C-alpha cells in the first residue's frame, strides 16, 4: 500500500479573520481573508506537520471549515495556490 506523496499543498479554511502577521506562527504558510474566513495554504512537508498545524488551530479555538489537499502543479505551471485558494477549485473555467 502506498500513501500520498509528501510534501503536499493544502488549503485550510477557518471561520475567523486572521491577518498576514499569523503566517510565521503557521510555519510560513500564506494567509488570505475574504472578510469572514481565512484561507491558509501552502506546502506542508508531511502528515505530522499537518497534524501539528491542525493542533495549533484547535489551540487558538478556530472553527475549522475545510481541509483540502491540492493537486501538485503540473510541468511548466507556476505555483497554483493563488488560483486554488478561491472559487470552486476549477482554474480557467
17 occurs within a structural domain: yes
3 occurs within a structural domain: no
Domain that holds residue 48: 8-70
Query: Count of domains in the chain?
Result: 1
84 occurs within a structural domain: no
31 occurs within a structural domain: yes
CATH label of the domain that carries residue 21? 3.30.70
Residue 54 main-chain phi, psi, to 5 deg: -65, -35
Q: Please give the pLDDT value at position 44.
A: 95
What digits encode the pLDDT tens for the residues 28-43? 999 999 999 999 999 9
Q: Please give the pLDDT value at position 69.
A: 96
Do the Cβ atoms of 73 and 80 come closer than 8 Å? yes
64 occurs within a structural domain: yes
Do the Cβ atoms of 57 and 64 come closer than 8 Å? yes
Q: How many CA atoms lie within 13 Å of 22's alpha carbon, on the beta-carbon side?
A: 18
Q: Which residues of the chain have a pLDDT value below 70?
A: 1-3, 73-93
Amino acid at each position: 500500500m502506498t500513501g500520498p506523496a509528501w510534501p503536499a499543498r493544502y488549503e485550510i479554511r477557518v471561520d475567523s479573520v486572521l491577518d498576514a502577521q499569523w503566517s510565521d506562527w503557521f510555519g510560513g504558510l500564506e494567509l488570505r481573508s475574504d472578510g469572514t474566513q481565512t484561507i491558509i495554504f501552502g506546502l506542508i512537508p508531511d502528515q505530522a506537520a499537518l497534524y501539528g498545524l491542525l493542533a495549533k488551530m484547535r489551540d487558538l479555538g478556530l472553527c475549522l471549515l475545510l481541509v483540502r489537499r491540492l493537486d501538485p502543479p503540473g510541468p511548466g505551471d507556476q505555483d497554483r495556490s493563488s488560483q486554488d485558494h478561491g472559487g470552486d477549485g476549477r482554474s480557467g473555467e
